[in-house]
Amino acid sequence: MKSKRRYLLFTLVLFVAVILSGCDPGSLPYLVVNRVVIMNNTPYLLVLERCSWGIACPSSQQNRYFTSSNEGKTWQELSSPPLEMEPAKETHGKDQAITCVAQDSSICYRVTGGEQVDFSNDGGQTWQVDWHQPMGRKIYMERDKLYTMLLHVVPDTAPYSIGIIQNKDKYVVIAALGNQGVLVKSENGSWDRYAVSPSIPSSVPDYAMPSNTSRVIPASAAPIAYAATSISEIKQSLNLEILRILLTVVIFFMTLSIFRLRRIRSDIVKNNNIDGSKLKHLTTFIGGAFLICLLQFIVIFIYPKLPLSYFGNINIVFFVLINFPFFSICLITLLGLLVSWILIANIPKKQAIEEHELRTDIFYCLLLLLGALLPLVLWSIGIIPIFEISIIFSLILGSLVIFFGFRNKWLIAESATQQSNNLLL
C-alpha cells in the first residue's frame, strides 16, 4: 500500500514538473528605435535589439544602426554608423530633447517624455502640442497579436529623441518612437509613423551590410494601427470580452428558461393533479447547476488578465490555466450548461405556451448580445476613443435589457396569477 502511494506521489510530482516546464514561454526578440541623429542632412538611428520576458533569448544581442535616403519613409541597416552616437536612453524619462531648424532657429521641436511632440515658433519661449498620441488608443494597441506574444512588452507611445532634416526652405522632423518605429513630420506638415525593418534591400552596397545577417531577425519596430478596420481585427481586440458577453447571454437565457419552465411545471401540477416532487427535485438540481455556472462567470468577470509580473514572475499553473480562455471560460462553463439542459429536458412542457415565451426569451438574449457588444465594437473601430467609456455603455445597455427581460417574466407571471384567481372566482 505504501509502495503504491509512493508511486502515485512520484507520478503526481513528475506530472506537475512537466506542466511547469511546459508553461514557461519562450522569449521573442524585437527592435526599439532609441535615438535619432542627423549628420550631413542624413538621418541615422540607434536601434536596440531586446527580448520579451521568457526563456531562450538569443545571447548575441547588440545595437543596430539604420539610415534613410528618402526622409524617413524607409530605412536600411548598416554595419556601423559614420558617427559616434550617444548611449541609448533607458526610458523616456523627463529629460527634454530639443532641436531647431538650421536655417531658422526660431522654429523648434521638443520631446519631454510624454505622448506628444511640442512645437515653438519663437525659439522655445512658448510651446504648443504639434502631435500627440490619440486618446485612449494604447489599450487597443496592446491587444495586437504581436504584443500578446511579446510578454511584458507594451507599445511605445512617447518619443525618445528627435531630429530635423533641412531641405532648402522646408524641413522634415523625425522622432524615435521606440518599438513603434519612427514618427515623421513630412514637408507638407502631416505626421506619419513608419516601420524600421531589419531586412536588407538589394540596393544597399555590400560594404554597408551588417555582419550579423545570419542571426535570428527580430520583429520589426513597426507601428500598430489605432483602430480596427476589419472583422478579424475587431475579434482580435475584443476576444476576451466577446467570450464574456456570450457567456452572459447564455446564463441570461438559462435564467429566463428556468423562470419559464418553473411556471409551466406549476401549471401542470395544478391542472393535472400530478405529483410534483420529481419536478421539484429536477428544478432544484437545475438551480444548483445554474448557480455553479453563475459563480464561474463571476470569477471570470472579476478576474483580470493579470501579467505574470504581478506574481513576481513566478509561473503558477493555476493562474496560467485560468488565463487560458478555453479552460476558464468555455470548458468548465459548457459542462455546467450541459448538465443544466439535460435536467431541463426532463421537465414536462406546454408546447403552445413554451414556443411563444421561448421566442420572447431568444429576442431578449439577442438584444442583450447586441447592446453589450455594440459599444465595444465602436471602441474597437475608434468611434468611442476610451475603452472604459465603452465598458460603461456596455454595462448600462446590458443591464437595461436584463431588467426589461425579467420585468417581462414578472408581468407574465402576474397575468397568469390573475387569470387563475378569476377562474377560481
pLDDT of residue 318: 46
% of the chain surpassing 90 pLDDT: 35
pLDDT, residue 37, reads 93
| pLDDT value at residue 251 | 77
DSSP state of 383: S
Q: Which residues, 6+ apart, have CB-to-CB distance to 95 below 8 Å?
A: 89, 112, 113
Q: pLDDT value at position 92? A: 61
pLDDT of the residue at 407: 85
Start-to-end C-alpha separation, the chain: 73
Could you give the CA distance from residue 140 to residue 386 in angstroms, rounded to a whole number?
Answer: 9
- Positions in the chain whose pLDDT score sits under 70: 1-26, 54-61, 91-95, 199-217, 261-355, 412-425
Residue among 226, 239, 224 nearest 376 (CA): 239
pLDDT digits (tens, 9 = 90+) for 120-176: 999 999 999 999 999 999 999 999 888 877 878 889 999 999 999 988 888 999 999
Sign of the Cα pseudo-torsion (374, 375, 377, 381, in order): positive
Q: How far apart are CA 209 and CA 80, in angstroms?
A: 9
pLDDT of residue 150: 82
Helix axes 239-272, 387-424, angle to 10 degrees: 0
Q: State the DSSP H helix or E strand holding residue 4, giving kind and residue range, or none if neither.
A: helix 2-23
pLDDT, tens digit, 9 for 90 and up, residues 229-257: 999 999 989 988 887 788 788 778 877 87
pLDDT on residue 214: 39
Distance CA(318)–CA(366), nearest Å, equals 34
Give the pLDDT of residue 378.
97
Strand partners, 116: 132
